[in-house]
Amino acid sequence: MRNIIFKILVIFLKILYMPMRLLRPKDKVTLVSREGNKESMEFKKIREELERTYPEYKVKVISKKIEEKDGILKQLLPNCINIFQQMYNLATSKVIVVDTYCITACILPHKKETKVIQIWHALGAIKKFGYQTIGKKDGSNEKTAKIMCMHKNYDYVLAPSKVTAKLYEEAFNVTEDKIKYIGIPRIDYILEKDEEASRKIYEMYPILKHKQNIVYVPTYRKGEKIELDELVEKIDTSKYNLIVKLHPLDLKEYNYKEKEGIIYEQKCQTYDLLKIADKIITDYSSLSIESSLLQKPIYFYTYDLKKYEQDTGINFDFENEPIGKYKAENAKQLIELLEQDYDYSVLRDFKEKYISVDTNNCTKQIVEFIARLINNEEIKSMGNEPIKKEQII
């Protein structure tokens, strides 16, 4: 019954889109996200660079947060105006940029001159997603994915390395020729020195000036409390501050142990926190790849590794990756690792393996790629190969 409703819904949207397809695409770029209700950092950087270098182009940003747990029907019905807005702008744009699965971009039949670019909202894929998770407990349903055209219609997918490109081919169900090796704007943001942002963090939390700062950003686990109590209890807060950046829903739904030197942070950008960090802890998040740009010690706190592998799936082989020696499956192991001297050579290898593109002004590279598409220029040679290892900064 559920899939029958989805089929009817898809047919309805396609019929509604038919007269819009008669509209002529303009020199216009539409950026669509459901990751938040505000313009994302990456879309902001792309928009500003487009406005600066190509003021003749029109740019439209549509951001509307839709929680996955709401289900597709609950995503669509209360958001009819937003969906109609998306459809009109997609029909009148030469380039569409998405950073996650976008129902309208994937379901609707666009004109040949309209190109869809998937930049994804992460710099890699440590955990499985998309088509990789079909059949998994926390993954996608195969029939529903087919009906809803999950990750269909992409003309190009941006990837930061060949390793990640292979994972994206699986997750998005695309062929190799659709991959372009261009970094995403968060690389620029992470590498930028922002003394003002750091100053504000220190003003907000003066305690951070006096001890080593550890930033812990765990992956959100649906309906499950993050295991923190043992770590909070055992960590030496006379030596360290532990800044815990939880998913907003975690702080709303669960109570966590309080202790001096432990900060449950929700006001600052995660990437700003990384800049004031001395050590970084994560788990199955691509944050580990993003953090490697800063060359600060990275640790993996994987207390539920077997369960996560079974329910969601992981692309990263901790046992055979050199940086995997910094994996801990309990708080005691993690604290022991934090006290050891760090092997920065494995961190450099990790970074070079997963980020092999040119990291110099990725936003500009994307905008130039978009401009070529709008002007219908030859783009075969742009972003075809990641740069060589010896060229990496």
Beta-bridged to residue 127, according to DSSP, are 314
Q: Do domains 2-183+359-391 and 195-354 have the same CATH topology?
A: yes
Cα radius of gyration (the chain): 22
Q: How much is the pLDDT for 310?
A: 94
Q: Closest Cα to residue 52, out of 346, 273, 367, 342?
A: 367
In the predicted model, what is the mean pLDDT of residues 10-23? Answer: 94
Tell me: the pLDDT tens digits for 315-334?
999 999 999 999 999 999 99
Residue 70 pLDDT exceeds 80: no
147-165 burial by CB neighbour count: b if 16+ within 10 A, else e?
bbbbbbbbbbbbbbbbbbb
Distance from the first to the final alpha carbon of the chain: 54
Domain at 195-354, CATH homologous superfamily = CDP-glycerol glycerophosphotransferase, C-terminal domain (3.40.50.12580)
In the predicted model, what is the mean pLDDT of residues 181-201? Answer: 96
- Written in H, E and C, the secondary structure of the chain is CHHHHHHHHHHHHHHHHCCHHHCCCEEEEEEEECCCCCCCHHHHHHHHHHHHHCCCCEEEEEECCCCHHHHHHHHHHHHHHHHHHHHHHHHCEEEEEECCCCHHHHHCCCCCCCEEEECCCCCCCCECCHHHHCCCCCCCCHHHHHHCCCCCCCCEEECCCHHHHHHHHHHHCCCHHHEECCCCHHHHHHHCCCHHHHHHHHHHCHHHHCCEEEEECCCCCCCCCCCCHHHHHHCCCCCEEEEECCCHHHHHHCCCCCCCCEEECCCCCHHHHHHCCCEEEECCCCHHHHHHHHCCCEEEECCCHHHHHHHCCECCCCCCCHHHHHEECCHHHHHHHHHCCCCHHHHHHHHHHHCCCCCCCHHHHHHHHHHHHHCCCCCCCCCCCCCCHHHCC
Beta-bridged to residue 282, according to DSSP, are 300
pLDDT band at 205 (very low <50, low <70, confident <90, very high): very high
Say whether domain 2-183+359-391 belongs to CATH 3.40.50.1450.
no
Six token digits for residue 170: 């699986």
Tell me: the pLDDT tens digits for 330-355?
999 999 999 999 999 999 999 999 99
**φ/ψ bin of 173: left (φ > 0), alpha (ψ from -120 to 50), beta (otherwise):** left
What is the Cα–Cα distance from 213 to 123, expressed in whole angstroms?
24
Crossing angle between the packed helical segments 362-374 and 41-53, to the nearest 10 degrees: 60
Residue 360 pLDDT exceeds 90: yes
What is the Cα–Cα distance from 49 to 110, expressed in whole angstroms?
26
pLDDT band at 78 (very low <50, low <70, confident <90, very high): low
Q: How much is the pLDDT for 306?
A: 95
Q: What angle do CA 266, 269, 270 make, to 5 degrees?
A: 90
Q: What one-letter code names the amino acid at 135?
A: G
With a pLDDT cut of 90, the percent of the chain lying above it is 82
What is the Cα–Cα distance from 328 to 326, expressed in whole angstroms?
7
**Model-wide pTM > 0.95:** no
Burial of 109 (0-12, 13-18, 19+ CB in 10 A): exposed
What is the Cα–Cα distance from 173 to 151, expressed in whole angstroms?
7
Q: Greater confidence, 35 or 144?
A: 144
Tell me: the pLDDT tens digits for 257-306?
999 999 999 999 999 999 999 999 999 999 999 999 999 999 999 999 99
Domain map (residue ranges) of the chain: 2-183+359-391, 195-354
